[in-house]
Amino acid sequence: MPSNLHQVKTYLTADERARLDELSVQTGLSRSEFLRRLIVGQRLPDPQAAASWDHVRDLTAINADLARLGNLMKLALNQAPEAELSARLATLAERIAATQADLKAAVVDLRHHLQPRRKA
């Protein structure tokens, strides 16, 4: 099936190409997609929003790591170690759970600020 897309060739100076590369990296788009969106007047992604979404992914990964750590701590507690160690592990597990709750709240808050506002 033939494509309706047409290739366009253009020449840029080294500075212009570097600027195009910089802008495409900032927006997370390929050079081709960046130029296509400029030509058709389509909205470009906000570089700050893209960076913020990266932070959301990082926080989510940290939350998953904390969940795995918490599960390991629960396993250790279920194996009935010494009383003092058990109390320490219980305290640590509570702190992990509190940190997880804080991370989840931060992610929800970031997502809320990053979501585009819907018109009523």
More confident residue, 66 or 33: 33
- At the topology level, CATH places domain 1-45 in Arc Repressor Mutant (1.10.1220)
If you compute the radius of gyration of the chain from its CA atoms, what whole number of angstroms results?
24
- pLDDT tens digits along 43-55: 887 777 766 777 7
Q: Please tell me the pTM assigned to this model.
A: 0.45
Residue 13 has pLDDT above 90, yes or no: yes
Domain boundaries, the chain: 1-45, 47-114
For residue 88, pLDDT beyond 70: yes
